[in-house]
Amino acid sequence: MDTILEMYYKFREDFPELTEKTDREHTRLWGEVDPEFCYSWFGSLANTLNHEMSKEVEAIKYKNVFEFIRHEFHSGSDEIKNCIDVSFTENLFWQIKPEHALSYWQIFPEVLKELYVNFHGHSPV
């Protein structure tokens, strides 16, 4: 089973453009990007996607990102599942207008929707 660190490196390799944006966001929020704090980095990833939503970037651009996260959740360790649940999913859609979140929510994998609704008690739209 993969570790969070392995998932982090795999993500960085598969999504270099989004990784660059997330690194900037992470640096703004937390300071230096350090693999030791990759758990927090996935929260920064959610914030980066929130910025994209608020700028009305087309959701389809990030469909592969959501599929990556879904796959890692299904195949990952409890540590990975917890990171995806707490650091990524709980922070996604934060303070996003429903009309900006709608297209992202529509392509968001069902298992991640369940995590979101279980935490927040409702969908973001």
Which tens digits make up the pLDDT trace of 11-67? 999 999 999 999 999 999 998 898 888 999 999 999 999 999 999 999 999 999 999
The Cα 75–Cα 36 span in angstroms is 22
21, 33, 35, 102 from 26: Cα distances, Å: 9, 7, 12, 25
DSSP H or E stretch at residue 88: none
Helices (H) and strands (E) in the chain, counts: 7, 0
DSSP H or E stretch at residue 71: helix 63-75
pLDDT in tens, 58-117: 999 999 999 999 999 999 999 999 999 999 999 999 999 999 999 999 999 999 999 999
pLDDT attached to residue 2: 83
Residue 106, C-beta contacts closer than 8 angstroms, at least 6 positions apart: 59
Residue 103, C-beta contacts closer than 8 angstroms, at least 6 positions apart: 58, 59, 60
The DSSP 8-state label assigned to residue 35 in this structure reads: G
Tell me the pTM.
0.95
Q: CB burial class (10 A; 0-12, 13-18, 19+) of residue 37? A: middle
pLDDT at residue 121 is higher than 70? yes
pLDDT at residue 1 is higher than 70? no
Token pair for 80 = 């990975």
